[in-house]
């Protein structure tokens, strides 16, 4: 069976032109996807790398069990906790996220996503200064100046350049690449920088200074310094003029800007730069979001609870205070007394102090394959891969929502994240809770 | 379920019922002549209206959520913990989806249309509508800057434009054609705008005038339930009333295919300004009202301003940029490929500001100068003029010259000097209030089963604790304000959702969208063109563009026979 227009649920580029051939519930061919995407599709065949059976910890060891027992144990852990943390969410569907938010609200827990350790600072900057952006098709059709700053799409988002920014022919850029200019600003000469028309090497941790220097030139100031952030004055002035004189410019920025020294202040300054540029020409910006549905989490939490991440429902309503309610802060203060991790692996990626607390408290892990997090969990529930084995919604990095497809059956007995959340919610509520079951949001 | 609402004072303008004391009978979600053994709700001494219908309110979709995410400060001011019935909810000018449903229901509204849905983002809009409980809902679909529309109209192919519009409504699950700053949205792709009806759109060689008259034709060819819903050019600009008057003339371009207007000019308060600089900023509401009074194919909704902090959001990207450059406040923008360019920025309407004070007066002037209330619908363009839950205050202003006078004393004297509001002594009665908050909206939208209480209508009813025989709205305006904010009962599809101002039951309403079909060969020609264009210029494939029905709560297609070929 050949499927066309399949959406790749790996990165925030969310390519929707993939062709997949499935035979006997095995993916035998993947066309158009990048190497990472292809690997994800094909990995769904390798059941030895998957979690297939629910497990609970008995006498210090994870042992296989029935789904009902695993769900009961998980619900018991969450229900008896005073302040559970529900973390992960970026690599699953909006439907699962929506059910998870309802669960967090029911439990009075804290819900946070991987946003907290990637573009969280960008969100904080948006609170300060707003967000002048566009959809990626606008870049394809109009952009004649494309800047990647602290981002290396050749590795992280391999098809970003060919689908949206540099290589494609657009309505007003008929010749594709030759109608555009690519500038890369980074601390090292990345593979993206190698194909750029201009590479600007900025000193590590001095992005803020470089942005300020650019703003000074854009706003008509005189740059007196010989060089700023390791970039000579002449180059800064040239870049600023290039930005002011283009017809449609776009600034893609990555973790090199959000997670380096200055963090949200860097982004705040970059937003102000884009705003300043709009006095002269058309300029927009776009964070290079990583996980395929990290944007979706902020959108769903945004419309349901008013905030983009790090929400504490302990008071019965949504309380948002990054630095207090963010996952790492809750963990490092030892504040949460149980955790549920879904579609994420904080044990590999969080600071040691956070992981130490995570290891101390009862932990429920829901994932498609074993990870260091599932290794230390007390309950492990396997789930199906959204976009391959189950349908759902995901938001591309520019907030364009797409419907993920189902192209093969999940392993026997394995449920979707959404269904697992629904069943947990029902168990947590119990028959005696008296809470009226809202009309099912499942779709 | 059977219900009898006994002995209330009924205001039902569509059926000409003006405060008569009568019973309203409900069975199986519909209004019926008579019902046996129904549960009786005593409504004596209370006022009964059809459920409110919201025709223009930014309640769901990308830019609403951008507003929420951009403004956490908006979400700590208005907070409601979860209860046994309702979800945790918050937000002031950009309430969460749940709160949006709850608050509308408390006001007695049972149906709402979100004001501007970019088709590419339609799935997002529907995901949010899905999470708005208590209401039937629909979405006005943006077409005024759509490349296909502009191309087809430019080459004079109105049939193909109509086929496209019909397809787009089906694909986006939209209800009506929305036009926002025609041409200006596309120009904003280059950081530009159009400033008159005859400014050409860059690279498309078409003018706003041609887009508007073209879409009026398309709308009537398709015989859609609603007319085109038009946010004219030059919103918020000093002296823009000239453009507005010129725009109204374009409504004559086609004969209405149904019993309704051909153009609804929306939030016209923002389009009724005279003067030649912010210093001389003045009201031209009287000229606009005069034009509306003299025409029978144009209606307006007012987009009333209420003082306070709010978030402005519109698909008019250049306008939002302009506004944020005036205030210096944070600004979000998202150009959407081939379609539109929305923006968001916070705004504070201050009583100390001469401009805000005049804006406040202009909305009320329009409502009071326009004679037939069916031609002037009550909106705040939520949240642009004010959050929708300020409606009771506006109702009180409309019903009480004294209240207006009191407010006039608090605001900048420009409102007195540069508007005619102080000279108007007209006061609305309940019948007129029922018209501008539900009957007029239902008529304009072509919703034959809403906005009235005749047999066969949806059993959507609002009961307010106001005794029209005892209350004098002109004097007791505080009471009017208080009582219209909390119904005694809100009944939707025959179910009691609100009792004594508290939510007692949460339901999901229906999602209305238009299913208009055109001739098959025309459709084939269209699909060929779409296929070519999507491959080259969109960033999503055609197959992934249409919104699936799974996103809609109780999907309710409205079939339209178009005869377009």
| CATH number where B304 lies | 3.20.20
pLDDT-derived band at B77, boundaries 50, 70, 90: confident
SS3 B477: helix
Say yes or no to pLDDT of A443 above 80: no
Say yes or no to pLDDT of B491 above 60: yes
Say yes or no to pLDDT of A154 above 60: yes
Helix axes B354-369 and B391-399, enclosed angle (nearest 10): 60
Say yes or no to pLDDT of B168 above 90: yes
Distance CA B109, CA B441 (A): 12
- Contact yes or no for B69 and A298 at CB 8 A: yes
pLDDT-derived band at A441, boundaries 50, 70, 90: very low
Distance CA A84, CA A80 (A): 9
Q: What's the length of chain A?
A: 443
Mean pLDDT of the region B433-447: 98
- Same fold for the domain at A51-116+292-402+411-429 and the one at A120-287? no
Chain B CB contacts of A219 below 8 Å: none
Distance CA A96, CA A88 (A): 11
Is residue A401 a contact partner of residue B121, using CB atoms and an 8 Å limit?
yes
**Is B86 in the A-facing interface, judged by CB distances under 8 Å?**
no
pLDDT-derived band at B562, boundaries 50, 70, 90: confident
Distance CA A310, CA A298 (A): 10
Q: Give the start-to-end residue ranges of the domains of chain A.
A: 2-42, 51-116+292-402+411-429, 120-287
Considering only CA atoms, which of B408, B437, B433 is closest in space to residue B421? B408
Mean pLDDT of the region B41-69: 97
Is residue B183 a contact partner of residue B207, using CB atoms and an 8 Å limit?
yes
Residue B182 token pair: 């025609």
B495 φ, ψ (degrees, to nearest 5)? -110, 140
SS3 B12: strand
**Is B127 in the A-facing interface, judged by CB distances under 8 Å?**
yes
pLDDT-derived band at B390, boundaries 50, 70, 90: very high
Please give, rounded to a whole number of angstroms, the shortest distance from the CA of B203 to a CA of chain A: 9
* Average pLDDT for chain A: 95
Chain A CB contacts of B133 below 8 Å: 438
**Is B510 in the A-facing interface, judged by CB distances under 8 Å?**
no
The residue in chain A having the minimum alpha-carbon distance to the alpha carbon of residue B333 is A132
The pLDDT score that the predictor gives to residue A331 is 98
- What is the distance of C-alpha B22 from the center of its chain? 31
**Is B148 in the A-facing interface, judged by CB distances under 8 Å?**
no
- Contact yes or no for A5 and B74 at CB 8 A: no
The pLDDT tens digits for B264-309 are 999 999 999 999 999 999 999 999 999 999 999 999 999 999 999 9
Largest CA distance in chain B: 67
Model ipTM value: 0.97
Torsion of CA B545, B551, B556, B560, to 10 degrees: 0
- Contact yes or no for A308 and B66 at CB 8 A: no
Give CA separation, B26 vs B13, B83, B122, B454, B490, in Å. 19, 29, 35, 11, 13
Chain B CB contacts of A305 below 8 Å: 88, 90, 96
Instruction: Give the list of residues 6+ apart from residue B520 with CB closer than 8 angstroms, or none.
Output: none
SS3 A75: helix
Distance CA A267, CA A258 (A): 7
The pLDDT score that the predictor gives to residue A442 is 40
Closest partner CB to B191 (pick from A17, A278, A316):
A278
Residue B430 token pair: 């309940």
Mean pLDDT of the region B255-268: 96
Residue A235 token pair: 């180059």
Is residue B484 a contact partner of residue B25, using CB atoms and an 8 Å limit?
no
Please give, rounded to a whole number of angstroms, the shortest distance from the CA of A65 to a CA of chain B: 34
- Contact yes or no for A127 and B72 at CB 8 A: yes
* B contact test, residue of A251, A275, A303 with most B CBs within 10 A: A303
Closest partner CB to B121 (pick from A94, A303, A401):
A401
SS3 B221: helix
**Residue B547, domain member (yes or no):** no
The pLDDT tens digits for A111-134 are 999 999 999 999 999 999 999 999
Domain A120-287 in CATH: superfamily? Dimethylsulfoxide Reductase, domain 2 (3.40.228.10)
Q: Global pTM?
A: 0.97
Share of chain B above pLDDT 70, in %: 100
Please give, rounded to a whole number of angstroms, the shortest distance from the CA of A372 to a CA of chain B: 33
Is residue B22 a contact partner of residue B10, using CB atoms and an 8 Å limit?
yes
- Contact yes or no for B335 and A17 at CB 8 A: no
Is residue A45 a contact partner of residue A410, using CB atoms and an 8 Å limit?
no
pLDDT-derived band at A164, boundaries 50, 70, 90: very high
Distance CA B24, CA B2 (A): 11
Say yes or no to pLDDT of A440 above 90: no
The residue in chain B having the minimum alpha-carbon distance to the alpha carbon of residue A108 is B82
- Contact yes or no for A434 and B84 at CB 8 A: yes
The pLDDT score that the predictor gives to residue A430 is 85
The pLDDT score that the predictor gives to residue B253 is 86
Say yes or no to pLDDT of B325 above 50: yes
Say yes or no to pLDDT of A437 above 70: no
Q: How many CB atoms are closer than 10 A to CB B560?
A: 19
Considering only CA atoms, which of A395, A398, A399 is closest in space to residue A386? A395
Say yes or no to pLDDT of B565 above 80: no
- What is the distance of C-alpha A264 from the center of its chain? 17
Chain B CB contacts of A7 below 8 Å: 544
**Residue B360, domain member (yes or no):** yes
- Contact yes or no for B332 and A126 at CB 8 A: yes
Closest partner CB to A140 (pick from B79, B189, B539):
B539
DSSP E strands, B458-543: 461-464, 489-492, 495-499, 502-503, 511-517
Considering only CA atoms, which of B247, B244, B347, B238 is closest in space to residue B283? B238
Tell me which residue has tokens 């992934």: B544
* Average pLDDT for chain B: 97
The pLDDT tens digits for B333-377 are 999 999 999 999 999 999 999 999 999 999 999 999 999 999 999
Is residue B317 a contact partner of residue B343, using CB atoms and an 8 Å limit?
yes
- How many pairs of residues across A and B have Cβ atoms under 8 Å apart? 199
The residue in chain A having the minimum alpha-carbon distance to the alpha carbon of residue B76 is A319
Residue B249 token pair: 């003339």
- What is the distance of C-alpha B203 from the center of its chain? 31
pLDDT-derived band at A289, boundaries 50, 70, 90: very high
pLDDT-derived band at A438, boundaries 50, 70, 90: very low
Is residue A414 a contact partner of residue A149, using CB atoms and an 8 Å limit?
no
**Residue B442, domain member (yes or no):** no
Distance CA B199, CA B214 (A): 16
Q: How many CB atoms are closer than 10 A to CB B192?
A: 16
Residue A50 token pair: 């998957």
Say yes or no to pLDDT of A29 above 60: yes
Give CA separation, A11 vs A36, A294, A347, in Å. 9, 9, 21
- Contact yes or no for A317 and B550 at CB 8 A: no
**Is B120 in the A-facing interface, judged by CB distances under 8 Å?**
yes
Looking at domain A51-116+292-402+411-429, its CATH architecture is 3-Layer(aba) Sandwich (3.40)
* B contact test, residue of A306, A391, A438 with most B CBs within 10 A: A306
**Residue B392, domain member (yes or no):** yes
Distance CA B557, CA B560 (A): 9
Task: Name the DSSP class of B225.
Answer: S
Rg (CA), chain B: 22
Structural domain harbouring B104: 53-425
Torsion of CA A156, B339, B341, A18, to 10 degrees: -10
The pLDDT tens digits for B368-387 are 999 999 999 999 999 999 99
The pLDDT score that the predictor gives to residue B54 is 98
């Amino acid at each position: 069976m050949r499927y066309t227009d399949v959406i790749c649920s790996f990165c925030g580029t969310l390519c929707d032109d993939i062709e997949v051939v499935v035979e006997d519930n095995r993916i035998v061919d993947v066309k158009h996807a990048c190497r990472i995407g292809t690997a994800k599709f094909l990995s769904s065949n390798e059941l030895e790398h998957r979690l297939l059976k629910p497990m609970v910890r008995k006498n210090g060891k994870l042992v296989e069990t029935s789904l009902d027992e695993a769900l009961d144990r998980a619900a018991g852990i969450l229900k008896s906790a005073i302040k559970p943390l529900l973390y992960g969410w970026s690599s699953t569907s909006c439907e699962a996220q929506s059910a998870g938010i309802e669960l967090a609200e029911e439990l009075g827990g804290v819900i946070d996503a991987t946003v907290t350790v990637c573009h969280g600072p960008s969100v904080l900057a948006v609170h300060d200064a707003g967000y002048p952006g566009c959809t990626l098709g606008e870049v394809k059709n109009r952009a004649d100046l494309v800047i990647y700053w602290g981002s290396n799409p050749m590795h992280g988002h391999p098809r970003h350049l060919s689908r949206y920014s540099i290589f494609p022919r657009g309505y007003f850029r008929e010749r594709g690449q030759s109608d555009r200019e690519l500038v890369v600003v980074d601390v090292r000469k990345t593979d993206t920088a190698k194909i750029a028309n201009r590479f600007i090497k900025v000193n590590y941790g001095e992005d803020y200074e470089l942005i300020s220097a650019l703003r000074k030139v854009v706003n008509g100031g005189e740059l007196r310094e010989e060089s700023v952030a390791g970039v000579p004055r002449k180059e800064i002035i040239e870049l600023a003029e290039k930005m002011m004189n283009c017809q449609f410019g776009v600034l893609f920025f990555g973790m090199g800007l959000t997670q380096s020294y200055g963090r949200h202040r860097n982004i705040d300054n970059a937003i102000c730069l884009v705003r300043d540029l709009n006095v002269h020409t058309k300029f927009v910006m776009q964070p290079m979001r990583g996980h395929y549905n990290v944007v979706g989490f902020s959108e769903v939490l945004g419309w349901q609870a008013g905030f983009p991440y790090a929400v504490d429902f302990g008071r019965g309503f949504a309380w948002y205070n990054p630095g207090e309610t963010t996952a790492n802060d809750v963990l490092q203060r030892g504040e949460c007394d149980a955790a549920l991790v879904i579609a994420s692996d904080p044990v590999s990626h969080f600071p040691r102090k956070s992981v130490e607390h995570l290891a101390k408290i009862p932990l429920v892990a829901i994932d498609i394959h074993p990870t260091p997090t599932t290794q230390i969990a007390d309950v492990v529930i396997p789930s199906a891969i959204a976009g391959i084995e189950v349908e759902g919604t995901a938001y591309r990095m520019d907030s364009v929502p797409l419907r993920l497809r189902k192209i093969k059956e999940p392993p026997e007995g394995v449920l979707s994240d959404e269904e697992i959340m629904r069943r947990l919610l029902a168990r947590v509520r119990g028959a005696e809770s008296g809470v009226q079951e809202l009309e099912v949001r499942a779709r | 379920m059977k219900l009898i609402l006994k002995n209330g004072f009924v205001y039902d303008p569509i059926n000409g019922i003006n405060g008569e004391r009568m019973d309203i009978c409900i069975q199986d979600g519909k209004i019926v002549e008579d019902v046996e053994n129904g549960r009786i709700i005593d409504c004596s001494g209370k006022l009964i209206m059809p459920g409110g219908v919201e025709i223009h309110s930014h309640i769901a979709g990308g830019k609403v959520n951008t507003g929420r995410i951009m403004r956490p400060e908006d979400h700590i001011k208005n907070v409601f913990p979860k209860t046994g019935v309702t979800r945790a909810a918050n937000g002031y000018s950009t309430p969460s989806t749940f709160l949006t449903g709850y608050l509308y229901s408390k006001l007695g509204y049972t149906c709402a249309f979100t004001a501007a849905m970019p088709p590419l983002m339609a799935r997002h809009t529907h995901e949010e509508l899905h999470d708005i409980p208590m209401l039937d809902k629909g979405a006005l679909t943006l077409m005024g800057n759509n490349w296909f529309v502009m191309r087809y109209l430019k080459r004079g192919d109105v049939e193909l434009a109509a086929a496209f519009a019909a397809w787009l409504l089906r694909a986006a699950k939209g209800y009506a054609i929305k036009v926002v700053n025609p041409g200006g949205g596309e120009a904003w792709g280059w950081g530009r705008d159009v400033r008159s009806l005859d400014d050409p759109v860059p690279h498309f060689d078409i003018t706003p005038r041609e887009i508007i008259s073209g879409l009026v034709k398309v709308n009537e060819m398709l015989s859609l339930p609603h007319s085109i819903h038009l946010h004219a050019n030059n919103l918020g600009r000093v002296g823009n009333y000239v453009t507005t008057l010129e725009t109204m003339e374009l409504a004559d371009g086609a004969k209405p295919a149904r019993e309704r207007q051909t153009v609804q000019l929306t939030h016209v308060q923002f389009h009724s300004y005279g003067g030649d600089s912010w210093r001389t900023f003045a009201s031209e509401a009287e000229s606009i009202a005069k034009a509306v009074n003299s025409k029978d194919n144009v209606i307006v909704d007012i987009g009333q301003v209420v003082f306070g902090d709010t978030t402005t959001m519109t698909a008019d990207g250049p306008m939002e940029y302009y506004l944020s450059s005036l205030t210096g406040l944070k600004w979000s923008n998202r150009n959407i490929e081939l379609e539109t360019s929305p923006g968001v920025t916070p705004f504070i309407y201050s009583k100390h500001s001469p401009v805000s004070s005049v804006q406040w007066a202009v909305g009320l002037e329009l409502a009071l100068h326009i004679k037939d209330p069916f031609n002037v619908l009550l909106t705040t363009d939520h949240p642009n003029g004010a959050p929708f839950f300020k409606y009771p205050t506006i109702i009180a202003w409309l019903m009480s010259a004294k209240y207006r006078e009191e407010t006039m004393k608090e605001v900048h004297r420009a409102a007195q000097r540069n508007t005619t509001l102080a000279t108007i002594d007209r006061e609305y009665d309940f019948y007129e209030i029922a018209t501008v908050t539900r009957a007029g909206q239902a008529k304009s939208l072509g919703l034959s089963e809403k906005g009235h209480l005749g047999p066969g209508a949806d059993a959507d009813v609002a009961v307010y604790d106001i005794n029209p025989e005892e209350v004098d709205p002109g004097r007791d305006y505080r009471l009017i304000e208080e009582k219209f904010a909390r119904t005694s009962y809100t009944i939707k599809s025959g179910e009691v959702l609100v009792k004594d101002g508290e939510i007692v039951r949460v339901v999901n309403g229906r999602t209305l969208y238009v299913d208009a079909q055109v001739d098959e060969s025309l459709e084939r020609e269209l699909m060929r063109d779409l296929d070519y264009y999507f491959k080259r210029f969109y960033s999503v494939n055609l197959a992934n563009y249409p919104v699936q029905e799974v996103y809609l709560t109780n999907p309710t297609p409205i079939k339209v026979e178009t005869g377009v070929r």
